[in-house]
Amino acid sequence: MTNGLLRKVYSLPSEPLAVEFRDVSYLASGRPILNHLSFQVPAGQTLILLGRSGSGKTTALRLINGLLMPSSGQVLVGGRPVSEWDLIDLRRKTGYVIQESGLFPHFTVERNVGLVPSLLKWAAPEQGARVRELLDQIGLPHAEFGRRRPGELSGGQRQRVGVARALAARPGLMLLDEPFGALDPVTRLELQRQLLDLRERELITSVFVTHDVREALKLGTVIGLLNRGELEFFGSPAEFQESEGDEARRFLEVLK
Amino acid sequence: MIPHGMLEDLGELSLEHLEMVFIAMLAAAAIAIPGAILLSRKPRISRWGLGFANILQTVPSLALFGFLIPIPFLGVGKATAVVALTLYALLPILRNTLVGITGVDAAVRESAVAMGMTPGQILWQVELPLGAKAILAGVRIATVTTIGTATIAAAIGAGGLGVFIFRGIAEFDTVQILAGAIPAALMALLADELLGWVERRVA
Ligand SMILES: Nc1ncnc2c1ncn2[C@@H]1O[C@H](COP(=O)(O)OP(=O)(O)OP(=O)(O)O)[C@@H](O)[C@H]1O
Ligand SMILES: [Mg+2]
């Protein structure tokens, strides 16, 4: 009995986790990559990090789940500095979709998606149900795709499995690094919708990296624009569209 | 003509040969695989580790056997031979294990860390399975080489198929030389096939 109760507790959605940067700088081999970033993403919001290639978007994401530690300043998740979190715990509560999908080539799709639930020791039936549910949601039905290896999927299918894997343990925070890069516009739209639905259903904080303005305006509740490691703009999508900043205007050019 | 008693000797010497190789391979794998895992965590020391194993392999095998004889508790015989063969087998296993583990795709490694896997989980569930092919190839190469090198063990009285070869050389007896060389070569080929099969099964 007790066992059953404990099990249930695991699969409850985690509390959404707020993210805050306090004067964060990051240097790589002495070169500044991020310069004095300060911003707040309240729990349940979706921050879109916009910026050109090399502007520091991925670096900023990696600071949030402790893959990198800031050279100065503080990153807070759920109000607690990342340096004070048990990193294993933080990462299991944080879904992460990396640019290249990073699926385990020796695991089936099923095992890839079920990875974090299995690390968290969810009961097998519950794991199985969650995996099925997610695979259906991303349009890769379990019966057809569950037993395949990532090598037997297309690039876009791999990306979708990457998203499902990040969502599996109902994280309170999602970090997505250009998750829809390799998708056709139709599937891309579909996944964007699903992400919006998800935000309504399960309260979740997201930091979403993209260089696509349209995607940013559609998905963001807040937008941050990085330009060579500086946060040139931070505010609502509406404010962004009115922004007079040089880089912001260059991005908005695209819409015209 | 096969001289009287040679067949009985052949069986016994082959077994002796196999035994030496087997023990040496177990010991080498037991040292080199964990060693390579440690080295993979410390890139700076890893060059030293590989360098050391490299130097070991450049010592001529007969000399290595000789060097070990004066060491207490070893002396002339099997123990010395096994130690020397073990030292020889270290490098290929060490190098291949290191390549296997450090060769894991950076994106896969990053996502393993980012999913909240512990270092132990990453080792057992990601690095070792993905490196298995390379590690097994190292064991196969080391085994084949060791079977050949083990013929020299007879020079320090450790027995094995080398006994025929050394006796044949001393007595100018080609049949005896072949009686040692052919089974050793067959043994090496067989080991290569068998371990190659295991390697393919793992892939
Ligand atoms: N380990 C490192 N050492 C030195 N420089 C680095 C390192 N990692 C990244 N950089 C540099 O930091 C800058 C920001 O990199 P980052 O990966 O954050 O960019 P990005 O905005 O994600 O780009 P993209 O859209 O191309 O993925 C780049 O100029 C990159 O060359
Ligand atoms: Mg990037």
Which ipTM was obtained for this model? 0.88
The pTM of the full predicted model, rounded to 2 decimals, is: 0.86
The model's pLDDT over B93-145, given as tens digits with 9 standing for 90+, comes to: 999 999 999 999 999 999 999 999 999 999 999 999 999 999 999 999 999 99
The answer to whether the CB atoms of B118 and A115 lie below 8 A apart is no
Which residue's CA lies nearest to atom 9 of ligand 1? A59
The answer to whether the CB atoms of B112 and A104 lie below 8 A apart is yes
pLDDT at A86 over 80: yes
- The whole-chain average pLDDT of chain A stands at 90
Angstrom distance (rounded) from CA A222 to CA A48: 6
pLDDT at B193 over 60: yes
Ligand 1 centroid–CA A232 distance in Å is: 17
Report pLDDT for B119: 95
Residues with CB under 5 A from ligand 2 (ion): A 58
Confirm if B35 and B96 have CB atoms less than 8 A apart: no
Ligand 1 centroid–CA A62 distance in Å is: 11
Report pLDDT for A5: 46
Lowest mean pLDDT among A128-137, B4-13, B94-103, B173-182: B4-13
Angstrom distance (rounded) from CA B140 to CA B152: 20
B107 touches chain A (CB under 8 A): yes
Termini Cα distance of chain B: 46
Tell me how close the Cα of B100 comes to any Cα of chain A, in angstroms: 14
Share of chain B above pLDDT 90, in %: 66
Average pLDDT, integer, range B77-103: 91
pLDDT category at B86 given cuts 50, 70, 90 is very high
Q: What residue ranges define each of the domains in chain A, with the CATH number in brackets? A: 16-106+156-255 (3.40.50.300)
Higher pLDDT, A135 or B61: A135
pLDDT at B9 over 90: no
pLDDT category at B197 given cuts 50, 70, 90 is very high
pLDDT at B5 over 80: no
Per DSSP (E only), the strands in chain A are 19-28, 31-41, 46-51, 72-77, 80-81, 94-97, 173-177, 205-210, 222-227, 230-235
| CA B150 from centre of chain | 10
pLDDT category at A8 given cuts 50, 70, 90 is very low
Give the Å distances, CA to CA, from A240 to A142, A177, A213: 41, 21, 10
Cβ of residue A100 lying under 6 Å from some atom of ligand 1:
no
Report pLDDT for B3: 66
Average pLDDT, integer, range A71-86: 96
Report pLDDT for B202: 83
Average pLDDT, integer, range B182-196: 95
A104 touches chain B (CB under 8 A): yes
- The whole-chain average pLDDT of chain B stands at 90
Cβ of residue A33 lying under 6 Å from some atom of ligand 1:
yes
Report pLDDT for A4: 44
B202 touches chain A (CB under 8 A): no
Report pLDDT for A23: 97
B186 touches chain A (CB under 8 A): no
Tell me how close the Cα of B195 comes to any Cα of chain A, in angstroms: 21
A103 touches chain B (CB under 8 A): yes
Contacts of A162 in chain B (CB under 8 A): 111
Report pLDDT for B2: 62
B112 touches chain A (CB under 8 A): yes
Nearest to A96 among B108, B111, B129 (CB): B111
Confirm if A142 and A110 have CB atoms less than 8 A apart: yes
The answer to whether the CB atoms of B111 and A88 lie below 8 A apart is no
Q: At A163, which amino acid appears?
A: V
pLDDT at A6 over 50: no
Structure tokens at B170: 């001393």
In a 3-state reduction of DSSP, which class is residue B94?
helix
Ligand 1 centroid–CA A34 distance in Å is: 10
Tell me how close the Cα of B33 comes to any Cα of chain A, in angstroms: 21
Which residue's CA lies nearest to atom 26 of ligand 1? A53
Average pLDDT, integer, range A240-248: 91
- B156's CB contacts (< 8 A; 6+ apart) are B65, B66, B69, B76, B77, B80, B81
Average pLDDT, integer, range A50-59: 94
Report pLDDT for B4: 67
Confirm if A165 and A157 have CB atoms less than 8 A apart: no
Cβ of residue A57 lying under 6 Å from some atom of ligand 1:
yes
pLDDT category at A11 given cuts 50, 70, 90 is low
